[in-house]
Amino acid sequence: MRKITVRATAITAVAAVALMALSGCSTRDPDSAAGGTAEAGFPADSVVGVALPSKTSENWVLAGGLFEDGLSEAGFEADVQYAGASTTVKDQQDQISAMVTNGAKVIIIGAQDGGQLGTQVKDAHDAGAIVIAYDRLILNTDNVDYYVAFDNFNVGELQGQALLDGLAAVRPEGPYNIELFSGNSADANAPVFFNGAMSVLQPKIDDGTLVVASGQTDIKQTATADWKAENAQSRMDSLLTSTYGDQEIDGVLSPNDMLARAIITSVKAAGKPIPVVTGQDSEVESVKSIMAGEQYSTINKDTRLLVAQAIDMVKALQVGDTPETNDDSYDNGNKIVPAYLIPPVIVTKANAAEAYANDPKLAPLTE
């Protein structure tokens, strides 16, 4: 996978683009279609399938409810399914196959494992359905039409810069001891987050400002199986025992909030000062932790915006239009998948009240 376009986005610009994302404007140029098969649209009450992964984060749970409500309000028959608690992809494969059998005109997929859905999305295409990859890219197939996500390379960039900023706030000059964590190797987003962060951190590692004391800098060494908190905590326990017996750890690159909290739990149990720890997803417990001065940062990826954009794509397809896209740099191994990317927002204690001002769940936590 390659991500060509790199953008650093100010919060004000993010807000403007996010509002545009909600508008649902679609291009009306049939010659620019991404290969979808519903050339003349489809009935307004058609089945739209939504296949989501296991409920591993608050945002996946929220997304399911938003899809149920939003698609139903738009007049579609929503078929929203979650993969089971198992970490295998079979549940999701079976659910997508059932959606195809049920005549879904569009299938939106948040992949449990983006590399193991080739057969199912081919069957969907053969049956005339359009496939939208949601949040996670579906890999190594021609049979995915669109991708809707946050700018995940930029997520990594923001995490890397937050780590540097947090370290500088604690101590103006390095060297700083840090450790690196990445996500589940089966998740297509994990290397995008990591590569974005390393584009910021690697120059500082090279010049000695940052020291990865364990020496574990390869993504295979830093991966967290199944995005499980216990796996991150276990690895952090091992790192503290093997590397930080007589020295302090200054910072940790964590790819999401759940892992960030597990890392902080490990450090506390070892009786060491909490380092600067990044995160992602704006989970309630992590926002509380940020306001309490523990976790340093998170990323606000407003699920409401992402679901709304995916539903706008379905609406455009239903009337025979080509959905709006704004990025052509995501290669899934077989093709460049036309994408609509929404800019993420970095959140620290300093800007949390502003970042969550319009979020009824999180705004009260920042008061």
pLDDT tens-digit map of 316-326:
999 999 999 99
Mean pLDDT, rounded, for 75-93:
89
Instruction: Report the pLDDT averaged over residues 275-298.
Output: 97
pLDDT of residue 131: 98
Q: Which two tokens stand for residue 346?
A: 């970095």
52-69: average pLDDT: 91
- 18-27, 136-145, 174-183, 282-291: which range is least confident on average? 18-27
Question: What is the C-alpha radius of gyration for the chain, rounded to an integer number of angstroms?
Answer: 21
Is 50 exceeded by the pLDDT of residue 83?
yes
| C-beta of residue 129 within 8 angstroms of C-beta of residue 105 | yes
What is 152-300's CATH topology?
Answer: Rossmann fold (3.40.50)
- In the chain, helix, strand, coil percent, each to 5? 45, 15, 40
pTM: 0.82
Reported confidence tier of residue 9, pLDDT bands at 50, 70, 90 = very low
When the pLDDT of each residue in the chain is averaged and rounded to a whole number, the result is 90
pLDDT-derived band at 86 (thresholds 50, 70, 90) equals: low
Query: The CATH number of 11-151+302-344 is which of 1.25.40.10, 3.40.50.2300, 1.10.260.40, 3.40.190.10?
Result: 3.40.50.2300
Please report, for residues 47, 79, 140, 145, the alpha-carbon distance to residue 67 in angstroms, rounded to integers and kept in the order given. Answer: 12, 9, 26, 19
- Contact indicator for 132, 313 with CB cutoff of 8 Å: yes
Evaluate if residue 239 carries a pLDDT over 60.
yes
Where does the pLDDT of residue 54 fall: very low under 50, low under 70, confident under 90, or very high at 90 and above? confident
Q: What is the mean pLDDT of residues 95-104?
A: 97
Residue 124 has pLDDT above 70, yes or no: yes
Q: What is the model's pLDDT at position 58? A: 85
Sheet strands (E) in 93-236: 106-109, 130-134, 146-150, 176-180, 210-212
Q: How far is CA 367 from CA 353, 359, 364, in A?
A: 7, 12, 6
Q: Apex CA 57: angle with CA 76 and CA 120, to 5°?
A: 50
Residue 301 has pLDDT above 60, yes or no: yes
Question: Where are the domain boundaries for CATH 3.40.50.2300 in the chain?
Answer: 11-151+302-344, 152-300
